[in-house]
Amino acid sequence: MTRVSTRKTEVSGVITLLTDFGMADPYVGIMKGVMLGINPDARLVDISHGIQPGNIFEAGVVLKESYAYFPRGTVHVAVVDPGVGTSRRALVLLADGHFFVAPDNGLLWPIISKQPTNTLIHLTNPAFFLHPISNTFHGRDIFAPVAAHLALGASPFEMGNPIDDPIKLSIPLPMEHGQKLKGQVIRVDRFGNLITNIDVRTLTQYAASPLSNVTVTVGPMKIKGISSTYADVPTGKELALIGSSGFLEISVNQGRADRKIDPCGMVVGTSVWVDKTGA
């Protein structure tokens, strides 16, 4: 296995990990052990291992929200892989100056669909894998060693062949329904904030008027106007604002918005309506 040394200047040496493995089992630690065996100087950062088991959509959303805050040339390994052991492909994606290593199951689609200039490699070169390759833990046997080699400066073009037909993910997009804009809750965070799929650009194009006039309706909550910060409303009161990732969020000042919808937490997927007429 030769390495293209000219690539070495482009990598940051940072590898991020995003999985649904949790932190109690040793699987994440084992992946890190494999990576440090190949690349002793890799700097390893956890994005999250708390993705709901098998939830490809959640992983894709979180990865897209996070990656750009890392230095260019970072390698992001994302393993939510309910199809491990089947013929689903393993991929490297080069997009927006970052490397992504993941199964071909839609996880990378939120990034691919926003970054039309990208390169996708189907990982086939066994020289970059750990052997024997198990049928149940490609995070350890394929994704971790590939990421470690990438972060050393190995070229993804040595690792397999370019493809252009990745698996797509059905991403719910906000849409106008009559006078209203309809979106949905795509993530609930630890604070009970509801992150929607309505980005600030879609919202402002739709509203075409001061955002103070719109109403946001989600479950039993009807909120007037878009706030700047939590403290714009009294403690315990709900509000809508543009969150730190540029998407409409519904929160409760010093409280939990998710509990207003469903105390049992079945909140992702709930419809969110924005009405510019203020009705």
Dihedral angle computed from the Cα positions of residues 216, 219, 222 and 225, in that order, rounded to the nearest 10 degrees: -30
**Which region among 28-36, 165-173, 199-207, 217-225 touches a second copy (by CB under 8 A)?**
28-36
Check residue 266 for interaction with a second copy (CB under 8 A): no
- Shortest Å, Cβ 105 to a second copy: 12
Beta bridge partners of 103: 90
Of 5, 54, 168, 278, the one binding a second copy (CB under 8 A) is 54
Q: Quick one: DSSP state of residue 265?
A: -
Q: Quick one: DSSP state of residue 139?
A: I
Check residue 23 for interaction with a second copy (CB under 8 A): yes
Residue 141 or 275: the one with the smaller Cβ distance to a second copy is 141
Check residue 86 for interaction with a second copy (CB under 8 A): yes
Do residues 94 and 101 make contact, with C-beta atoms less than 8 angstroms apart? no
Check residue 265 for interaction with a second copy (CB under 8 A): no
The residue among 83, 79, 24 whose CA lies nearest residue 47 is: 79
Check residue 51 for interaction with a second copy (CB under 8 A): yes
Check residue 71 for interaction with a second copy (CB under 8 A): yes
Do residues 38 and 152 make contact, with C-beta atoms less than 8 angstroms apart? yes
Binding mask 176-195 for a second copy (x = CB under 8 A): -------------xxx----
Where in 122-141 is the site for a second copy (CB under 8 A)? 134-137, 140-141
Q: Which residues of 119-150 are buried (b: 16+ CB within 10 A; e: fewer)?
A: ebbbbebeebbbeeeeeebbbbbbbbbbbbbb
Per-residue CA distances from 259 to 190, 220, 256 (Å): 12, 11, 6
Residue numbers at the binding site for a second copy (CB under 8 A): 12-14, 16, 18, 20-30, 32-34, 36-37, 40, 43-51, 53-54, 62, 65-67, 69-71, 74, 82-86, 134-137, 140-141, 189-191, 228-231, 241, 243-244, 249, 254
